Amino acid sequence: MNESLLFYATFILYIISAFYYFTFLFSKRENLARIGFSFAFVGLFIHTIALLWRTFESGHAPFTNMYESLSFLAWSSILAYIIIEFKYKIRKAGPYFMLIVIALMALASSPLMPKEATPLVPALQSYWLWLHVSVTLLGEAFFAIAFITSIMYLTADSREKKGGAAKSKLSAEKLDSVSYRCIAVGFPLFTLGGLVFGMVWAFKAWGRYWSWDPKETWSLITWFVFALYLHTRIVMGWKGRRSAYVAIIGFLAALFTYFGVNYILSGLHSYA
């Protein structure tokens, strides 16, 4: 057995989880959602072992190339979802969120993603790598949940305004509240990992805290969007549709920071 086998076993478990969640969505049988949750939990456990195996095999953090980073982001996303699902019981979000996780795992398993563990470039040979990347990706995982619940909020709100909403535990109001709470968790994590730890590491690696590298710039744009979300919600009393739109834009900015910058714009983070 090796890390690759564990990774693919995890992938299969996440697919099975998504199958049960979607079956629940159409059948309304709560026990199917619980089975889906169980498969996701077991998948998280095996995924954790795979990441630890990769760490010991490579001798460095399990997120130094795009394959490792996608795998770790999928792991972070499942961890975040399990926490939120356990606390707020948002089972109807499960099918859609599992699609994001499966997409991440599918991209990671793609032949286009080199999977060999290679020696780190000097700039990555630092314990700040662990702090910067892991905390940032965990913050983005909570943003991903807020993205899903914000889209679901818009749908539920439209349905409720038309008077066609069925009795449901997952109302538009609850979805709006969950989105807010996810961003309230994800924002400080993203701030600490993406900006604070990133700036300290940049100073130690390159002798300056900020260089307006494309990834730094887009990280700052993402930060401003979610700062706007929290400011308008807490200070100006925004709720509902306006907040949902800002949360969606914020996640899309985070997505471009993660994927787009790597493949469209070159800079100091091109290896990430």
- Tell me the per-residue pLDDT of 32-55, one tens digit each, with 9 for 90 and over: 999 999 999 999 999 999 999 999
pLDDT tens figures, 146-204: 999 999 999 999 888 887 655 567 889 999 999 999 999 999 999 999 999 989 888 88
Between CA 156 and CA 160, with CA 159 as vertex, the angle to 5 degrees is: 85
In this prediction, residues 49-64 reach a mean pLDDT of 88
In this prediction, residues 115-128 reach a mean pLDDT of 75
In this prediction, residues 85-111 reach a mean pLDDT of 94
Residue 99 has pLDDT above 80, yes or no: yes
In this prediction, residues 73-99 reach a mean pLDDT of 95
Q: What's the pLDDT score for residue 178?
A: 96
Residue 22 has pLDDT above 70, yes or no: yes
Q: Return the minimum-mean-pLDDT range out of 14-28, 111-125, 140-154, 217-231.
A: 111-125
Alpha helix ranges (H) inside the chain: 3-27, 30-58, 66-88, 94-109, 128-161, 172-190, 198-206, 214-234, 241-255, 261-264
Q: What's the pLDDT score for residue 62?
A: 87
Q: What's the pLDDT score for residue 269?
A: 54
In this prediction, residues 57-78 reach a mean pLDDT of 90
187: alpha, beta or left? (left if phi > 0; alpha if psi -120 to 50)? alpha
Q: Is the Cβ–Cβ distance between 182 and 83 less than 8 Å?
A: no
Percent of the chain at pLDDT exceeding 90: 65
In this prediction, residues 111-135 reach a mean pLDDT of 80
